[in-house]
Amino acid sequence: MANQDLFFDITKQGTEQEKQQYIISRVGDGGLKAITITVYSNGRPYNITDLTPVFEGVKPDGERIIDTTGGLVLDPRNGVFRYILPQQASTAEGDYQQAFFKLKRGEQTDSSLEVRIRVLKNKVEFGINSESYFTEYQKELERLRTTVNTGIEELKHTAEATEVKINSEVETAKALDTQLKALQSAINSNQLATREDLTSQIKPLSDQVVAFTNSLETTKDTVNANVQKLVDTKMDAGVAPGVLSNPANITKSGNYYYNSSTQGLPTLNGSNANGIIQAVMRDENNGMLSILGTGLTREKYKGKLYDRWKSSTPILLWSGRASSGDTVQLKDDVHNYGQLIINVTFTSNRHATHFVTVPNNGETLYLNNIGLRSSGNGYKNGYLDELSILFKDNNRIQVVKSLLATDGEQAINSDTAITAIYGIY
């Protein structure tokens, strides 16, 4: 089995991946390509005990992979796990649009930097179908298939036993009807004195036999039709046809395609502009909806979408550079989120990250950073940065001031700036 070693720092310092983090496969490969990943945190081994490795990617043709079963933790204390690429990872020629690894514990997740994957052409083997590959969905679908098929077989068995019994009763009824008709014919031909009396008694009985026969035939046809209907309509691996207009309209369990025209969706990262919503419904008014690949879920309760979409995966609300005096326009209402992740370029920490609880409109937050300053072979008091930001309204945040004090001197204006804002539900 081929193996390739990759190394990641979970803090995601920097924006470019290491040169070794380039995976090359060929259309048709799968099952023998192993990748050993070592995870660090600020240069030290990252303990991944009780964490589950997950691979997520968008293939060159736009199909998606979410694989929760291909990873195997080898050395949790030193942050080492192995991932084996499935065949569906190598079905489309070209460079992956996006690929990365995740580490999950329940609803908690963290991800690696981007992984570059290139799938080479295969002129010998062709006709390999590329499709989306969600291991959690595949497992659930297989379980559902087994349940449905078992139910169908049980119903078939019951129906077959019922049909034998019904056929027996039908034949008995037909034989009785034949005997009655023969008796009536004999009475008529022999002109028995009791013909009229017997006829008046036989006719109602004959009518009842005919009605009973017709009823049994109808029952048999109904049972067979219901069995066939269940066989014909059992759930398969497909997605509901067309584009979902609004998640609130979902009334049945299944998988639904959404895109930019779908109403009622939360703000999504660019890589999730279209995809699949999986619905697990108790009945047409109650169930749970999940947007695959995003961690976003929402409950449908009593026919309406309850509360709001929730996820531990950060949503990018704005990126760029905003310094003193600039106002940032967020792409969603900040009060739809519980916390914000703000990336800041301080003097001594150019890649700082601050987690803040969303305040009320009109409030000002102060972000600070302290760093030492080198002087010859020693260090002085260093730098004290402060950035103040005003939450003007639901969608606008203003950088009010960015100040820098060096070695206890008077604070002056600085070039400290905000570079990105993420929302966490």
CATH of residue 20:
2.60.40.3350
- CA–CA separation, 53 and 71 (whole Å): 5
Does residue 23 sit within a domain? yes
277 by Cβ neighbours in 10 Å (0-12 / 13-18 / 19+) ranks as buried
362-380 in b/e form (b: 16+ CB < 10 A) is eeebebebeeeeeeeeeee
Domain match, 37 and 87 both: yes
- Is residue 365 located within the same domain as residue 401? yes
**Helix 135-190 with 195-232: angle, nearest 10 deg:** 170
- For residue 147, what pLDDT is reported? 65
According to DSSP, the residues that pair with 288 across neighbouring strands are 280, 299
pLDDT bin (cut points 50, 70, 90) of residue 235 is very low
Q: What is the pLDDT at residue 65?
A: 87
101 residue type, one letter = F
For the sheet with 116-120, list strands across it.
22-26, 116-120, 94-95
Alpha carbons 324 and 255: distance in angstroms, whole number: 47
71 lies in a domain? yes
**Domain around 381:** 315-424
User: Is the pLDDT score of 153 beyond 60?
Assistant: yes
Structure token digits, residue 169 = 């009763």
Q: Is 376 within the bounds of a domain? A: yes
64 and 146 co-located in one domain: no
Number of domains in the chain: 4
The DSSP secondary-structure symbol of 128 reads P
Question: Concatenated DSSP letters for 256-300?
Answer: EEE-TT-SSPPP--GGGSSEEEEEEEEETTEEEEEETTTTEEEEE
The answer to whether position 174 is within a domain reads yes
Same domain membership, residue 415 and residue 331: yes
Residue-level pLDDT at 3: 77
The H or E element containing residue 321 is strand 315-322
CB 380 within 8 A of CB 410: no
Residue 93 belongs to a domain: yes
- Residue 370 to residues 343, 345, 411, Cα–Cα distance (Å): 16, 13, 13
- Which helix (H) or strand (E) is 150 found in, with range? helix 135-190
Say yes or no: 55 and 121 in one domain. yes
The most confident of 67-81, 188-202, 383-397, by mean pLDDT: 383-397
Does the pLDDT value for residue 103 go beyond 50? yes
pTM for the whole structure: 0.41
384 vs 213, more confident: 384
Lowest mean pLDDT among 9-23, 307-321, 362-376: 9-23
Q: What is the CATH number of the domain that holds 365?
A: 2.60.320.30
Residue 242's region, left for phi above 0, alpha for psi from -120 to 50, else beta, is: left
φ/ψ (deg, to 5) at 82: -120, 140
Q: Are 120 and 144 contained in the same domain?
A: no
pLDDT of residue 17: 46
Q: pLDDT above 90 covers what percent of the chain?
A: 32
